[in-house]
Chain A
Amino acid sequence: MKVGLVGNQNSGKTTLFNYLTGMNAKIGNWPGVTIEKKTGIIKGTNYELTDLPGIYSLSPYSIEEEISRKFVFEEKPDVIINIVDSTSLERSLYLTTQLIELDTKVIVALNMADILERRGLSIDCKKLEENLGVKVCKISALKETGIDELVSEINKLEKKSKSKIFDENIESSIDSIQKNINVPHSRFISIKLLEMDERFIKLNSKEVDNEREKLSKLYDTDLEEIIATERYNFIEKIKKECCKKVEIKQGITDKLDKIFLNKWLAFPIFVIIMFLVYYLSVGVVGSSTVDFVADKVDSFGLWVSETFEGLGVSEWLNSLVVDGIIAGVGAVLGFIPQLIILFICISCLETTGYMSRIALLLDKLFRKLGLSGKSLIPFIVGSGCSVPGIMGTRIIENQDEREMTSILVPFIPCSAKLPIIALFAGYFFENNAGLVSASLYFFAIIVIIISALILSRTKFKHTSSSYISELPEYKIPNIKYVAKDVWDKVIAFIKRAGSVILICSIVIWFLLSFSFNFEYGVEVEDSMLASIGKTVSWVFYPILGTNNWGATVSAVQGLVAKEQVVSSMAVIAGLSEDVESGSEIFADGTPFSGFNKASAYAFMVFNLFSAPCFGAIGAMKRELGSNKKLIKTVMFQTICAWILATITYQVGSRITNIANLIIILVLISIVICILISKFSKKSDGCSGCPYCDNCK
């Protein structure tokens, strides 16, 4: 038996789904989009439950609604459980009135029965059943009450009575159209036809057009407005009959919002909370977990290596296992404690309701760039490490805004890029090292803004500039829910991102350890990677002014982890990989002696903006969903990096004076600000998905 779970966002749908299916849910994506699809078996039964996206209506306009419609029409569920937030009954029933127009059996689950009691409200279930014509069950997904009765209702035979929602004129029009439609869900389709729903345009006819015109003249507006208004008129009638307000108790949400959304306090509070999230996930706490895991993996690797030596395993096999596989796995494992902390923070922000306030505060600003107000969080986290930053884009509902944020997060200098900055800035700019480092962050923000403007006008031009969102009540996070949420996200990371990281680490290990003669254990200069580097080093010519295979190889090694750029350079310079001093790496005689101030800055720029480490690439794959998009993204980032680095070097090597440089930068910044205000997003558009005919 197939069951669909339908309801508004924030109706407790996920809590109910988790409770009904336990740990056996399968999480994937709906075909063609990066919206989560959850399916599971209801415990104690063999019913298959599918969680549909949170929707408020079944109109033909958004991806989420289209997914739900497709599910009903194509996957033909036997039962639909409509979960309703009983504290927002009026608005929630709007979707219900549409669901009962389908031929599928509907059971209404009035959730949050516990809160209703607390608020002094009561709903007469029997009266509601009479009015809607379907079974109504009272439940509390949180307190886990009423759910057994709900499940037992699934199997029962339906005693559905068709309830007439609309007034006489509309009902008679629906009847005359319905007579000529011989497919399932005829009443639903008839009403949608009156609304000129594009999905059913094939079933349109002269008769329908006549009925539509007739009604339109009668009510002096279009059918979409007529039908929506009539639905709410019906709901208001029901509400008067079925709901009783005993006492109005004011919640604390309004009082809290006086503080959190206060003109003066809102931003300072926000900064403090963001700092806390940063501190926990990528600051001291987060990075110490990374170091801890790295240590453990190293010791394990060492132990394995020695054991293999003792057993007489060949050197190359030993290295493959230890330096390739274990190091690769270790890289994945290293991120996990950090991700757990980050996901806990995000889950808490979401379930308490504060996340919506963040979106509210920053929305206006970010929307100009085609991003969401929530995009700030991934950027902040990304300044510590791109991997949790990219994973954090999950909080953004709109697919385009989410993908754009994922692509832009790696542009922020992460902590792994700091050794590169320390090396080059420290050696070439000595006293101005701090200024140079700060300038790179500034540079990064400007690049992000410009890229966002470009992307939002080209690839992602479908984001609408409208903001319509519910502000949920403040709630205390439910530990069970948070735990399950974190678990699901971590598993998803391991599955999708982990494989990319592992495979790529092994590939690089291979290229570095072997020469083209398949000789193992060669010097860096003779390895395959170096040979490839030598042939490709002309790419770096415009950035460095010379053909430098060492820099090329180091940059490629940066793909494994940005920290490896410096250690790679040290090794290529003939030193031990722990060396970090510029005076040794750039000394005469090393392959890097040709670097000067301009090429140093340019090389830093390249490394900062080029494709991020495999961990971040893996995380991007997870968020973008397809290999095609991933490759396009990596190319976009690397080409940007190349262009920026080239400009930097070509301009930089011709500037003789720091003062000139600073003045030029200030002028450029002013130009950029003007560009932003002129070109920021003003147009509205659809969501740009493959579901309606406009964008197919």
Chain B
Amino acid sequence: MQLSKVKVGQKAKITKLNIQNKEIRRHLLDMGLTRGTEIKVKKKAPMGDPIDIELRDYELCISKSDLEQIDVEVII
């Protein structure tokens, strides 16, 4: 499923990066969003966008439209 659909407090593992834009894709890879990385959705901005996720001991806010292009597997 898309990372943008993961609920607050849920953990997920990244399975695929489908990001069209080369620059954004590279930036997300650089920030640690690689295949197999475990992330946790911590908060969402009041209007639902951007979304704050926790990974690799830090927090990153990413716009919903970018998260829609990342596939994940939810970890129970």
Residues of chain A touching chain B, judged by Cβ–Cβ distance below 8 Å, are 56-57, 59, 61-62, 87-91, 94, 224-225, 228-229, 232, 254, 257, 261-263, 266-267, 356, 360-361, 363-364, 464-471, 684, 686
Contact = CB atoms under 8 A, between A and B. Distances in A.
The 6 closest A-B CB pairs, nearest first, are A57-B30, A467-B63, A228-B29, A90-B56, A229-B34, A88-B58
Interface in B37-76: 37, 42-43, 45-47, 49-50, 52, 56-63, 65-66
A467 B50 contact: yes
A467 B62 contact: yes
Contacts of B5: none
A266 B52 CA distance: 15
Contacts of B25: 224
Contacts of B65: 465-466
B24 interface: yes
B57 A90 contact: yes
B52 A464 contact: no
B29 A224 contact: yes
B6 interface: no
B28 to A, nearest CB: 7
7 contacts: A88-B56, A91-B31, A262-B46, A360-B50, A468-B62, A471-B52, A471-B59
Contacts of B7: none
B61 A468 contact: yes
Contacts of A360: 45, 50, 52, 61
Nearest to B26: A59
Contacts of B57: 87-91
A356 B28 CA distance: 19
Nearest to B27: A468
Nearest to B45: A360
A225 B46 contact: no
A228 B25 CA distance: 11
A103 to B, nearest CB: 22
B16 to A, nearest CB: 9
A469 to B, nearest CB: 5
Contacts of A254: 42
Contacts of A361: 45-46
Contacts of A465: 63, 65
A266 B46 CA distance: 7
Nearest to B53: A471
Contacts of B23: 61-62, 464, 684, 686
Contacts of A261: 43, 45-46
Contact of A229 (B26, B35, B56): B35
B46 A91 contact: no
Contacts of A267: 46
Contact of A468 (B28, B37, B42, B58): B28
Given A90-B56, A90-B57, A684-B24, A232 B37 contact: yes
